[in-house]
Amino acid sequence: MRQFTDFASDASKTMLSVLADKLSSESVYRDAMYALGRDLAAKMAAQLAPTKTLDVCVACTVEDADFLASGIVAGFRDAGLADDRLKLACFWNKRVKRFDGTEDDSFDVAPIVKEYREPMDVRHSVVVVVKSIISGACVVKTNLSSLIDDIEPERVFVAAPVMFKGSRERLASEFAPDVANRFEFFTFAIDDQKSGEIVEPGIGGSVYSRLGLEEKDAYVPNIVKVRREALTA
């Protein structure tokens, strides 16, 4: 059963229904994910004091970069955040769920095999960890741990259009209390049902296939290409 949060507007609910619809085309699905990113950014920007001069560091997975994360970056710009205060980190994760030759599903990690990270001062930043859907929180935990290391950022925003019931608590339990207490969650819907490993209705299945993306190890998001070229120009 799906429960909408107080952040969910009629527009975001409509976009969530687009994601859940198995008949939505790749282009429509991509547009909906981008729109949800802009909406999430608007909700997060409203929580930032206008007098603060902190950078905002957006951390995403490779599959979310060109659509959800791009929408979030655009949404922060819409809210008046200057380009030089917006930083991006993108991670390529490899999901490993068990040791070879075993049936132990409790072994669940998501090591980073590649990353793009812009110069950023995490200690004096709001870190925004972005994921299309948060279920077991394994990928979010890995990427956030890599980004903050032993540094405590000012604030940590965890943003996803959909989260599975209990994922907030699972993620918080993976960090020391002084870090976990900084987490602020932004989502439009909480789902509590799964079909196998897929959350239902969730985001309508595998985000990779729904977005029509190539093999993720070889895929370089356009937002990374553009921002990397700008940094080296």
Q: Which strands form 155-159's sheet, in the order they lie side by side?
A: 112-117, 86-93, 55-61, 125-130, 155-159, 183-186
pTM check: above 0.85: yes
φ and ψ at 84, to 5 degrees?
Answer: -75, -5
φ and ψ at 21, to 5 degrees?
Answer: -75, 115
What are 130's strand-pairing partners? 159
Domain range list for the chain: 2-231
Residue 208: the pLDDT is 87
Secondary structure in 3-state letters for 97-155 = CCCCCCCCCCCCECCEEEEEECCCCHHHEEEEEECCEECCCHHHHHHHHHHHCCCCCCE
C-alpha distances in Å from residue 145, one per residue of 111, 125, 137, 141: 11, 15, 12, 6
Angle between helices 70-78 and 26-45 (to 10 degrees): 40
Q: Which residue has the tokens 């290409």?
A: 225
Residue 30: the pLDDT is 98
58 neighbors 88 (Cβ within 8 angstroms): yes
Residue 137: the pLDDT is 74
Residue 202: the pLDDT is 97
Which tokens in the block code for residue 58?
């957006």
155 neighbors 126 (Cβ within 8 angstroms): yes
Tens digit of each residue's pLDDT, the chain (233 residues):
899 999 999 999 999 999 999 999 999 999 999 999 999 999 999 998 655 678 999 999 999 999 999 999 999 999 999 999 999 999 998 766 555 444 445 545 667 888 999 999 888 889 999 999 998 878 888 888 888 776 778 889 999 999 999 999 999 998 888 888 999 999 999 999 999 889 999 999 999 899 998 766 678 999 999 999 988 86
Query: Does the domain at residues 2-231 carry the CATH identifier 3.40.50.2020?
Result: yes
C-alpha distances in Å from residue 120, one per residue of 125, 129, 155: 8, 14, 14
Residue 22: the pLDDT is 93
133 neighbors 162 (Cβ within 8 angstroms): yes
Beta strands 198-200 and 183-186, pairing class: unpaired
Q: How many angstroms separate the CA atoms of 19 and 39, rounded?
A: 15
* Half-sphere exposure (Cβ direction) of 42: Cα atoms closer than 13 Å: 15
Residue 187: the pLDDT is 98
